[in-house]
Amino acid sequence: MLPASGRQGQAMTDDGISAEVADWSREDVRRFWDPGPKLLRALRRYQAARARGGALARLAAKYWAANHLFWSTICQSELHLNTQVGGGLRLTHPTGIIVHPEARIGVNCMIFHQVTLAGAVELGGHVDVGAGAKLIGPLRVGDHAVIGANAVVTHDVPAGATVAGIPARVISRAETAAQ
């Protein structure tokens, strides 16, 4: 949830790493046919029901699992129900996205169509993954990195770097300014 001021601030993750607060408005369902946000809504509500426990929560989890299956089929995507996904994920064109159950996605990331996160891939915060990119883990992608379209990433990507190519290599680095 965003602070009362509406701005994004700093928070600590479970492993003690500083991370920006998720912009949950990026996941809002804005119209009747909005498959990306509806797929994420089903995932989030399934995980919340499982965390609650109890008979009613088990029934709700089954409903949201079926809802998730429907949107996964519509999108032809596989985003496992137990994948750790940070808030503010954008699936702009959610067709053909495959995410391994051991993958971890940070806050405010954007994943385009036909992306594969194979194995234990960890995306930091604010990572953009271009269409058709393949990330083959185990690997870690640093905060604010950009993965080019159709890149094949097999090694760690530093924070603020842009990678592209087959195999992917760093083509530019962003200057990190203290805020």
Write the secondary structure of 68-130 as one string of H (helix), E (strand) and C (coil).
HHHHHHHHCCEECCCCEECCCCECCCCCCCEECCCCEECCCCEECCCCEEECCEEECCCCEEC
Collect the ranges in the chain with pLDDT lower than 70. 1-19, 176-179
pLDDT at 14: 54
Q: What was the pLDDT predicted at 133?
A: 97
Q: What is the pLDDT of residue 26?
A: 86
Decide if 26 contacts 41 (C-beta within 8 A): no
